[in-house]
A and B are shown apart, each in its own frame.
Chain A
Amino acid sequence: MLILGVGNVFRGDDAAGILAARRLAQRLPQARVRECDGDLTAALDAWNGEDCVYVVDAVASGATVGTIHRFAAHADPLPACVFRGSTHAFGIADAVEMARALGQLPQQVIVYGIEASGFEQGQPLSPAVAVVVDEVVDRIVKEVASDA
C-alpha cells in the first residue's frame, strides 16, 4: 500500500496533502509513504506495482473550505471541476488518467481532496484546513483497517 501526499508546504493550504501523508506515516507503519510537490509523473513511478494507493491533495472546487472530497479514481476519472487549476506541472488527475491510458493504474486508487482556502506563497495552513487534515488522516486509517 502506498500513501501519496501531494502539495507544497510553502503555499498555504496546498500543504494539506503533504502534512496528511506525514501523519499517516506515523499511524500506518506498514504503508509506503511518498510526498510529491510538483511534477506528478513521479506518482506514476511511485505507485507502479502497488495494489492500493491513497492520495491526499488540496483542491479548489468552490465548495466550503474544509470540505472533504473522496473519489475512487480507479473506477472513474477525477472530476475536472474539483481538480482543475492544479498548481502542479502535471497534476494528480493527469497522473491517474495517464496511468489508466497506459494500463498501469493500481487496482484501488482512493483520492482525498481537501477544500482549501488559499495557496498564497509563504502562508501557513489555515486553521479550518488544519482540523480537516486530522480528520482525513483518521478516515484513511479506518478505511485501511476495514480493508484489512
Chain B
Amino acid sequence: MSAKSRTIKVDYLARVEGEGSLYVKVQKGRVVDAKLKIFEPPRFFEAFLRGRSFAEAPDITARICGICPVAYQMSAVHAIEGAFGVRVDGPLRELRRLLYCGEWIESHVLHIYMLHAPDFLGYPDAIHLAKDHPEIVQRGLELKKTGNEIVSLLGGREIHPINVRVGGFYRVPTRRELAPLRERLARARDLAEETVRLAAGLTYPDFEQDYDFVALRHPDEYPFNEGRVVSSSGLDLPVPEYEQHFTEVHVEHSNALHSVMGDGRSYFVGPMARYNLNADRLSPRARESARSAGLERVCRNPFRSILVRAVETVYACDEAMRIIDDYQPPDAPAVPIEPRAGVGHGCTEAPRGILYHRYQLADDGTIREAKIVPPTSQNQKRIEQDLHHFVQENVDLSKKDLTWKCEQAIRNYDPCISCATHFLKLEVDRSC
C-alpha cells in the first residue's frame, strides 16, 4: 500500500464561519501536497469598516463570528482605545475579562463535546454519542449554558452581544444580578473538572511536531485582553509591533490569506500555545487539573488540545468566580471617549488564539482603514503542515480511517474550520 499513489480530496462545505476543503496528494508513498482551502468572511469586514464611526466597530466586527464575537469586540475596543489614548481599568476591565470567560466556556465546551469528543470516542457526531452516553453530552450542554448566561448577562444576548462599547459597556450589572451566576459557576467548575477527567481518559494518536507557539503573555494574568506577543522561539514584543513580525500572504490555492512569521515559517496559536506559554499563570485549581490529568508542562501533540481546552474551561470558571466575588460596580458604565486621529492596535486571546486588529482613525473617529487577522488565518499554514506529516506517518491507513483522522487533525485547531469539515465529501483516487 505504501508504494501506491493516491489523492485525498475533500470538497467542501459552506458554513457561516468559513468554507473549507482538503486536498492531500500521495505519490509512491510520499505526501507531495497538502492543502487546506478556506474562504474567510473577515476580509469583507475590513472594507465594511472603512468610513464607519469608531463606535460601530465592536458591533460590526462581532458579526464576523457566531462562536467568538466577544473576541472581535475586545480586540476592536482595545485597538481604538489605544488610538485615543484611553485606558480602561478597574471594574470595567474586570467585566471584560468576565465576558471573555463566558465566551471561552461557550466556545471550548461546544468544541470539546459537540465537535471533538465524538472523534475520540468513535462516533460520527455528538448525536450518536448522546444515544449511547447521554450523561456525557448532557454535562457539556449544562456547562455550555453557564457560558451562555455570562455572555447574555454582560453582553445583552448569547450570540453577537450588543452591550460592548469603546470605553466600557452601555450598562453594567449589579452585584445582585451577578449572584446567581456565581452559584452556577461553582457547579460549572465541577463539570469542567469532570471534563478534564474525560479528556484525560481519551486515547491520543502518537503525533508530535516542533511547533512555534505564539500567544499573549501578561505579567500577572492568564491572558485574555492584554499582554505582550510572545513565542516559544523567543519573540517578545508589544502588540503594535505585531505586523513587523507576522505577515499575511496570498497563496494560490486559497482565497484566505495565510499569516506567517517574517521568515515565512508557520506558527501555532490557540489553547495549546496559550497553555505552553502561560501555564504558570493558571489558577491553582486549573493547574492542579492539568497536573492530575497528566498534561505535560509543554504539550506538542495537537490532538491533546481537547485536554488543554478542558483545563482552560476550569480556569475560565475559576476566574469568573474570582471576578464576581471581587466585583464593585463602577461609577459609570464607560469611561469618556475623545476621538482623535491616530492608529490603534489590539490583540486579544480569542478561544482559538490571538486575534489582531489595527485601525487607522480620522480626528472625528471615522475609521479610515482596518486590518483584522483572525486566529484561523494564523493557523492555516500550520494545519496544512500537520496534515502533510500526519498523512505521511499514517499513509497505510484505510481511506475511511485516514479521512477521519485528517478531519480530526483539522478539528484540533479551530471550531470554525471544524464546522466546515463536517460537511466535507471525500474522494480518494488511487493510482500506481
Contacts and interface: CB of A to CB of B under 8 A. Distances in A.
A94 B137 CA distance: 13
Tell me whether chain A's interface is mostly helix, strand or loop, or mixed.
loop
Interface string A108-138: 0000000000010110000000000000000
B136 to A, nearest CB: 11
Contacts of B158: 42
Interface residues of A, number: 26
B16 A89 contact: yes
B110 A39 contact: yes
Interface string A1-32: 00000001011000000000000000000000
A30 to B, nearest CB: 23
A97 interface: yes
B335 interface: no
A119 B66 CA distance: 16
B162 interface: no
A103 B134 contact: yes
Contacts, number: 68
Given A37-B66, A37-B160, A44-B141, A88 B131 contact: no
Interface residues on B, range: 20 to 34
A122 B127 CA distance: 32
A39 B130 contact: no
Contacts of A42: 148, 158-159
12 contacts: A38-B66, A38-B159, A42-B148, A45-B141, A86-B15, A89-B15, A90-B114, A94-B125, A97-B127, A101-B134, A102-B134, A122-B44
Given A41-B144, A42-B148, A98-B126, 15 more contacts: A37-B159, A39-B66, A39-B67, A41-B110, A44-B141, A45-B141, A85-B14, A85-B423, A87-B15, A87-B16, A89-B67, A89-B415, A89-B419, A98-B130, A102-B137
Interface of B: 13-17, 41, 44, 63, 66-67, 106, 110, 114, 125-127, 130-131, 134, 137-138, 141, 144-145, 148, 158-160, 415, 419, 423
